[in-house]
């Protein structure tokens, strides 16, 4: 292929990265995945392995001590970790989600202060947008931030916050001017150690049990005004712009879960014998596998396509269809992941229904990818709105 031919594929470096992450995940993350799920405990082994290999927040630019990996490389890291353990994949995914608002809208001082420790693996960064009564309707949030001299005082409670209690830093959206609706919402960096910050009990969840999901409770949390991300009233705009980039990481997580389930199912059907031959010899099984693999590859190509557009947008290029493709890949990949994991359980038969085998865990983990960072019903509304503009 001539050097000037535009490559519509991951580069050799991307594929080498995939191999590195897959080997690491197989050796250091997969062996603990079942225990992490069973015990509902944070995957410390995964965090240690990812930090040691500088894979915990590869998206942080080199100027802040990070690897400066592009969006496609970040997708590949999340995908390969999720193939081994979905809970563990939320370490690189949520580090990106929490920091993108700072990258998009934060001051240079804010970027240096908060991105540097994340890049070093000294801190994780969560994202606090949702509330008990403001999920899909995030603009209906009640958390308030009131100006007091050169500080803001925050009061409220954020719900469903991924890695809450483990992360040191939180991007928090709060209402600064209730009269302005969505244009009265601002974004702030809140630290776990700030006085008045506490956490609710861990949610008892269907899946991703290794990643703590908790309320973040803010009671008269007084923070310096320079911790505001961007100008006052721009928080909701930043939140939506962030999701254009990070829905793609949820698609990546879904791809990884689906790939793990498919790989396991393929291995199983080649070994499992019924009626005197491996069940892989039966056409009904072959058709199921073909459909699983075909749909997974379609979702993967759309996700990689969206990642390339995300990268261009992060570098200041105007990408009019980023919102559409990021919603589309998140929606498609998560729907496909749910279907593939259900089929994997089916292919394993009775064994698929037991915790002795990983397929049922993957099925439970896949479900959340259809719900968080915008339910798939919301994604369809977003896509339709883009089409009808």
Q: Facing residues of 131 across strands?
A: 134
* Angle between helix 86-105 and 30-39 (nearest 10): 90
Integer angstrom CA distances of residue 150 from 161, 223, 224:
28, 9, 6
Say if residues 185 and 343 touch (Cβ distance below 8 Å): no
Tokens of 204: 């008892």
d(CA 170, CA 189): 6
d(CA 2, CA 62): 30
Nearest CA to 155 out of 75, 78, 110, 216 is that of 216
d(CA 328, CA 331): 5
d(CA 70, CA 92): 13
Integer angstrom CA distances of residue 104 from 61, 96, 162, 171:
12, 12, 21, 12
Catalytic residue, from 79, 80, 360, 373: name it: 373
108 in active site: no
Classify the C-alpha dihedral 296-297-302-308 as positive or negative. Answer: positive
Nearest CA to 249 out of 122, 167, 162 is that of 162
**Catalytically active residues, by annotation:** 373
């Amino acid at each position: 292929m001539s050097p000037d031919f535009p490559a519509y594929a991951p580069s050799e470096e991307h594929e080498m990265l995939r191999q590195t992450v897959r080997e690491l995940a197989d050796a250091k993350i997969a062996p603990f995945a079942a225990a992490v799920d069973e015990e509902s405990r944070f995957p410390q082994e995964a965090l240690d392995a990812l930090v040691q290999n500088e894979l915990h927040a590869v998206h942080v630019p080199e100027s802040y001590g990070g690897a400066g990996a592009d969006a496609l490389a970040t997708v590949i890291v999340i995908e390969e970790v999720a193939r081994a353990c979905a809970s563990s994949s939320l370490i690189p995914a949520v580090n990106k989600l929490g920091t993108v608002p700072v990258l998009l809208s934060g001051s240079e001082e804010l970027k240096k202060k908060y991105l540097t420790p994340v890049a070093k693996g000294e801190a994780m960064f969560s994202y606090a947008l949702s509330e008990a009564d403001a999920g899909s309707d995030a603009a209906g949030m009640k958390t308030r931030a009131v100006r007091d001299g050169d500080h803001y005082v925050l009061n409220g409670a954020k719900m469903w916050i991924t890695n809450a209690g483990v992360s040191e830093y939180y991007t928090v959206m709060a209402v600064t001017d209730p009269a302005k609706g969505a244009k009265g919402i601002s974004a702030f960096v809140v630290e776990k150690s700030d006085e008045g910050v506490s956490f609710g009990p861990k949610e008892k969840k269907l899946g991703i049990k290794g990643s703590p999901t908790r309320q973040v409770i803010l009671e008269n949390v007084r923070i310096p005004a320079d911790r505001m991300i961007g100008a006052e009233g721009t928080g909701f705009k930043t939140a939506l712009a962030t999701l254009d980039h990070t829905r793609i990481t949820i698609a990546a997580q879904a791809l990884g879960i689906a790939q793990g389930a498919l790989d396991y199912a393929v291995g199983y059907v080649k070994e499992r014998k019924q009626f005197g031959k491996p069940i892989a010899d039966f056409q009904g099984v072959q058709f199921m596998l073909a459909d699983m693999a075909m749909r997974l590859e379609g979702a993967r190509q759309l996700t990689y396509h969206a990642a390339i557009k995300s990268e261009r947008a992060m570098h200041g290029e105007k990408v009019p269809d980023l919102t559409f493709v990021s919603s589309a890949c998140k929606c498609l990949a998560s729907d496909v992941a749910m279907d593939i994991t259900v089929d994997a359980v089916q292919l394993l038969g009775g064994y698929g229904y037991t915790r002795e085998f990983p397929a049922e865990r993957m099925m439970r983990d896949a479900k959340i990818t259809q719900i968080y960072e915008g339910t798939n019903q919301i994604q369809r509304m977003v896509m339709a709105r883009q089409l009808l503009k």
